[in-house]
Structure 1
Amino acid sequence: MPHAVARLREARLARSAKPFVARGSRTSRCPRCRVASSHCLCDWLPQVAANSAMCLIMHDIEPLKPSNTGWLIADIVADTYAFTWQRVGVDPALLALLADPRYQPIVVFPGEYAEPERVVSEVEVASGKRPLFILLDATWTEARKMFRKSPYLNGLPVLSLQAEVVSRYRLRRSTRSEHLCTAEVAALCLGLAGDAQAACALDVWLDAFTDHYLGAKYHRTPDPDDATHRTLAAFGER
């Protein structure tokens, strides 16, 4: 069964008035991993368990972009939900998810943009609940607007990540190296929540996706014996 981001992509395509033309759209891509068919990486997909859940609130065209990394999160974390952000109103299914007693919703966003009393640096959930990390999947400019204009998130804690790392993401450019891609943010959240194996799997899956994606673009064959692929193979042996 397609995961949440794949379903959101299909729904977005179904309501499109005209085809979405992405960069490299002439390339024949695997519908499962979105990489050029010649460099498909589906056979390397790791299967891991995670206690955490993810909620992706995606800007309108993010699910359509082959380089989107929210898709990779849904590949790894079984309990991933995806919704299109709406300028006016909100998807009732999203509100129902935020009210689901199984979860403790936590918005992941820089603390400087939230009221100080909402900001947390550690993952704390009530007994019997699971963390539900809410990620705004968009460009930085779009994400700030989404954060400001989503009143249904106002009462939730805001996890402000303090990791001093430089983004490894190479498929889109950012003017600031401290801006992590969505999958990198999710991996940090998984680590803070104690889902170390899932965090590692997502990090390595991002590296493999990037390697195969750029390999196809620059006519380079990925090395199945490098550290990234060996780590993915090890997940399959467990």
Structure 2
Amino acid sequence: MNLKDYLALKERLAATAPTHRELCTACIQPRFSCYCRHIERFHPNIDFVILIHPIEVRRRIATGRMSHLCLEGSYLIRGQNYTEVPEVNQILADPDRQCMILYPGKTSTNLTPLKRDERKALFDSTKKLTLFVIDGTWLTAKKMMRQSQNLTNLPRLCFSPEKPSNFRVRKQPHQACYSTLEAIHHTIELLGDSQGFDISSRTHDRLLKVFDSMVELQLSFIRKADELDKPTRYRRPQTLRKNYA
């Protein structure tokens, strides 16, 4: 093949090559589904350290990332075993912080039944409340906790969900299993007053505004795909799709 034919072939191949959708560098969504325009940042007077599993990093619908984009003073740290992660250990070693982790279990303090004064008594008013949150599936979260020796002895907090999760575009083990963003929002609802954050302002509902807009947009994509009903299009089993309506 001479140079002229080679260049012509290269040009034809380039013209027929698939085009990749441009992704937003912040939310990692395609431009047509970017949710950054809905983000209104705020500081809840709690520093959230979101520990995101590598699998979640690759998901475009990752509510840990979404939470980080909304919350001033938050951290988003990728990993699985955080025992030797300098950024995590630096936060844990800060004498001006009171570090705890949001994680359910028998040894966790359930915030839901506690009165306002009882919740406030859990914290040192002279230190910055810093809450670690694991962003992963239930299976990966357990593994992350088991491997991360520096997180093992942190005081654990949890709550009892008051209503089903609205994360209807992703299958949850149970309807009361909250997404990372919903868990953070509800934690602020329970602890905001104890940290000097005005719950009545509903500023923390900015989290749900972004989340709900993303969910509704994804549901609209699913409905449009259903209307096309192309035989070559991948279709989830009907049992997994019943909650998308």
Amino acid at match of 1:208: S
Decide whether the 8 Å contact of 2:135 with 2:141 is kept in 1: yes
Amino acid at match of 2:146: R
Partner of residue 119 from structure 1, selected from 95, 103, 109: 109
Deviation track 1:107-162 (CA, whole Å, cap 9, x = no partner) reads: 111122xxx3x635246321222221111111111111222222212222100212
Decide whether the 8 Å contact of 2:50 with 2:68 is kept in 1: no
TM-score after normalising by structure 2: 0.69
> What are the residue-to-residue correspondences of 1:217-228 with 2, within 5 Å?
218-219=223-224
C-alpha distance in structure 2 between counterparts of 1:70 and 1:88, whole Å: 17
TM-score after normalising by structure 1: 0.71
Matched with 1:100 is: 94
C-alpha distance in structure 2 between counterparts of 1:174 and 1:200, whole Å: 22
Amino acid at match of 2:208: D
What's the offset of the Cα at 1:27?
Answer: 4.2
Decide whether the 8 Å contact of 2:53 with 2:136 is kept in 1: yes
Decide whether the 8 Å contact of 2:70 with 2:207 is kept in 1: yes
- RMSD of aligned alpha carbons: 2.5
- Between Structure 1 and Structure 2, whose CA radius of gyration is higher? 2
Matched with 1:229 is: none
- The number of residue pairs the alignment matches comes to 192
Matched with 1:180 is: 178
Decide whether the 8 Å contact of 2:110 with 2:160 is kept in 1: no
C-alpha distance in structure 2 between counterparts of 1:44 and 1:86, whole Å: 30
Matched with 1:8 is: none
Relative to 1, partners in 2 of residues 1:34 and 1:147: Cα closer, same or farther, differing over 3 Å? same
Decide whether the 8 Å contact of 2:41 with 2:71 is kept in 1: no
> What are the residue-to-residue correspondences of 1:38-57 with 2, within 5 Å?
38-57=32-51
Matched with 2:208 is: 203
What's the offset of the Cα at 1:43?
Answer: 2.5
Decide whether the 8 Å contact of 1:32 with 1:42 is kept in 2: yes
C-alpha distance in structure 2 between counterparts of 1:85 and 1:34, whole Å: 18
- Pair 1:190-2:188 in alignment: yes
Paired residue secondary structure (1:111): coil
Matched with 1:149 is: 147
Amino acid at match of 1:187: H
Relative to 1, partners in 2 of residues 1:32 and 1:154: Cα closer, same or farther, differing over 3 Å? closer
What's the offset of the Cα at 1:68?
Answer: 0.5
Decide whether the 8 Å contact of 1:53 with 1:79 is kept in 2: yes
Amino acid at match of 1:135: V
Paired residue secondary structure (2:98): strand
C-alpha distance in structure 2 between counterparts of 1:89 and 1:154, whole Å: 10
Partner of residue 212 from structure 1, selected from 203, 211, 217: 217
Decide whether the 8 Å contact of 1:105 with 1:134 is kept in 2: yes
Partner of residue 29 from structure 1, selected from 23, 28, 36: 23
What's the offset of the Cα at 1:206?
Answer: 0.9
C-alpha distance in structure 2 between counterparts of 1:99 and 1:215, whole Å: 46
What's the offset of the Cα at 1:219?
Answer: 4.8
Relative to 1, partners in 2 of residues 1:218 and 1:102: Cα closer, same or farther, differing over 3 Å? farther
C-alpha distance in structure 1 between counterparts of 2:23 and 2:224, whole Å: 14
C-alpha distance in structure 1 between counterparts of 2:172 and 2:162, whole Å: 16
Relative to 1, partners in 2 of residues 1:165 and 1:30: Cα closer, same or farther, differing over 3 Å? same
Q: Percent identity?
A: 23
Q: Which runs of 5+ in 2 are unaligned?
A: 1-18, 112-118, 226-245
What's the offset of the Cα at 1:98?
Answer: 1.3
Decide whether the 8 Å contact of 2:98 with 2:128 is kept in 1: yes
Q: Which runs of 5+ in 1 are unaligned?
A: 1-24, 221-238
C-alpha distance in structure 1 between counterparts of 2:41 and 2:52, whole Å: 24
Relative to 1, partners in 2 of residues 1:85 and 1:36: Cα closer, same or farther, differing over 3 Å? closer
